[in-house]
Amino acid sequence: RVSLRQLGDTISYTLSAPVEVHHHIIQANKLTMVERPVTQKVQRSSTSTKNKPQRGMFIDDSKIARKFADRILMPKILKMQNWIVLGETPEQIELSIPMALAMDVDIVIIDENLDYEYEKAPNNITLSRMETGSQVCASMIEKGVDALFCIRSGNTSQDDVEKYIKAGAHIIICKSFSNKELATPLFDGFRALQEERSQKASNNYSSQTSAFPILLLN
C-alpha cells in the first residue's frame, strides 16, 4: 500500500512491503516514511530537455541481478541520482506502478520472466506464479507512467520482440548484451524519447521517423 504527499519539490511516500530503495531496506509489516527530493514536479512537461535519465526503476526476480543493479548498474554505469530496485516478491511488482508514478521515473528496466513460488493453504503446496515484464510494462503505460521502457530477456525471437514492442517497450535488451555497454544506447534512447515528446507537443511527430524500437541483441 502506498500513500503519497508532495510538499514543494519533495515527494513523500509511505509503503508497507519489503522494498530495496537506494540502499535502504523497508521491512515487511513496518511502515516507513521515505523522503527524497526530486528535480521537478510529478507532472512532467512534454517539452522537457533533460539529456540523461535521473530517476530509474529496475525490476527482476533474480537476487544477483537486483544486487548488481543496485550497486553497479544504476549508480555507476547509468549514474542515476535516484533509483529503486524491485522484484523480490510478487507484492513488489504490484507496488511498482504507484512507486513509478511517485518517483516520476525516467527509465524502467524490467526482466521479462518474473517467476515466483508461493504456498497454497491448507496443504502448503508450493506452486509457481509467473508474471511477465511486458505485462508490467503495458500496465504501467496504461496507468500513466511516462518513461523509457526497457525489457530484458533471453528470448529475442521475432515473435518475442513483437510482443515486447506491442506492450510498449522502447528498448529490448538481450541478457547476453554487456551491461557495461548499456549507458550509451539507453542515454541515446532517452534523448530520442525526449525529442519525440517535443515533436508530439508541436504536432510534428511522425511514427515513420521514430528511433524505436532499439534492439540490443549481442
**Residue 9: pLDDT band with limits 50, 70, 90:** low
Looking at residue 119, its pLDDT comes to 60
What gap in Å lies between CA 29 and CA 15, rounded to an integer?
Answer: 9
Of 17 and 70, more confident? 70
Indicate the DSSP class of residue 80: -
Say which range, 40-54, 112-126, 150-164, 193-207, has the weakest mean pLDDT.
Answer: 40-54
The total of other beta-carbon atoms located within 10 Å of residue 78's CB is 24
Mean pLDDT of 15-29: 42
Q: Which of 30, 45, 38, 28 is nearest to 5 (CA)?
A: 38
Predicted confidence (pLDDT) at residue 103 exceeds the cutoff of 80: yes
Q: What is the mean pLDDT of residues 180-188?
A: 92
Distances (CA, A) of 64 to 59, 154, 163: 12, 16, 26
Model confidence at 189: pLDDT above 80: yes
Average pLDDT, the chain: 78
4, β-bridge pairs: 13
Cα separation, 34 vs 21, in Å, equals 9
Residue 123 CB-density burial (10 A; 0-12 exposed, 13-18 middle, 19+ buried): exposed
More confident residue, 174 or 123: 174
pLDDT at site 48? 45
pLDDT of residue 37: 36
Confidence (pLDDT) at 129: 65
Cell numbers linked to 151: 525489457
Most confident of 43-57, 76-90, 117-131: 76-90
**What percent of the chain has a predicted confidence (pLDDT) above 90?**
54
Whether the per-residue pLDDT at 33 is higher than 60: the answer is no
